[in-house]
Amino acid sequence: MKILFIGDTVGKAGRSVVHQHLKHLQEELAIELTILNCENAAAGFGITPKIADEFFDWGIDVLTSGNHIWDKKEIMPYLSKNPRILRPANYPPDNPGRGLAILKTRSEQEVAVLNLQGRVFMPATDDPFRVADAELARIPKHIKVIFVDMHGEATSEKVAMGWYLDGRVSAVIGTHTHIPTADSKILPGGTAYQTDAGMSGPFYSVIGVIKEDVIRRFLTSIPDKFESASQDAQLNGVFVEVDSGTGKARRIERIQR
């Protein structure tokens, strides 16, 4: 099975560059499952139902997210209604939405997508390691292909999650820092891993935000509203090929357009 994962998509620039390249990438790589982290899609903070529907119309199969999923309050009812948009599974269970999606690909194969969030330098949540165990136990045994978006700040926590889940899932790909890492690998147990997929958004910026706004914050320490930048949009993501029979990864490559 060939999977395309698109990193944190930031604002209008990020959405535009995804729309520009998505179909070509899907055709070029014969993609069967497309996943996109959407938590920054609405002007850099959160996502709206309209934007989520737009992504699905373009051919995204599953939307993952992170701590910014709660920024736009109108997404709350949508999270509960649409099983293809995820929030991290280790938020309290009575929060809107879910952290695990089970669906069929275009080739009618069943797959599972799990969304987790780290706790180091992040909002307080339940332990993602133990929640991962509980969520994996819910997945029917016949489903072999399992993809994990590990949304976290600390590289150490994401690396640890990769080793913790090695051999139990097909891929663990990190999100949140917006900086793509050059550590794509297949771990000994057959799990594809990369610490961060990077962002799809304006790289003439500071991780997607207008650079002058961020520099001013560093210089003055005065809080101010951040706005998404718009220049030099790039798509960053990861391509993973998985043996559908075993769930083991065969190949992982960084994608940049």
Q: What are phi and psi of 182, to 5 degrees?
A: -100, 50
Closest CA to 242 of 150, 169, 163: 169
**Identity of residue 53:** D
Task: Enter the tokens of residue 105.
Answer: 């690909």
Residue 5 burial (10 A CB sphere; 0-12, 13-18, 19+): buried
**Strand partners of residue 36:** 6, 63
Helices (H) and strands (E) in the chain, counts: 6, 13
Report the C-alpha gap between 67 and 70 in whole angstroms: 7
Residues in the chain: 257
Containing H/E element for 211? helix 211-220
**Strand partners of residue 214:** none
Report the C-alpha gap between 237 and 64 in whole angstroms: 13
Task: Enter the tokens of residue 230.
Answer: 């718009």
Tell me which of 21, 24, 68, 178 is the catalytic residue.
68
Q: What are phi and psi of 118, to 5 degrees?
A: -70, 170
For residue 68, indicate whether it is catalytic.
yes
Angle at 69 between CA 202 and CA 36, to 5 degrees: 55
**How many Cβ atoms are within 10 Å of 210's Cβ, its own excluded?**
19
**Where in the sequence numbering do the catalytic residues fall?**
68
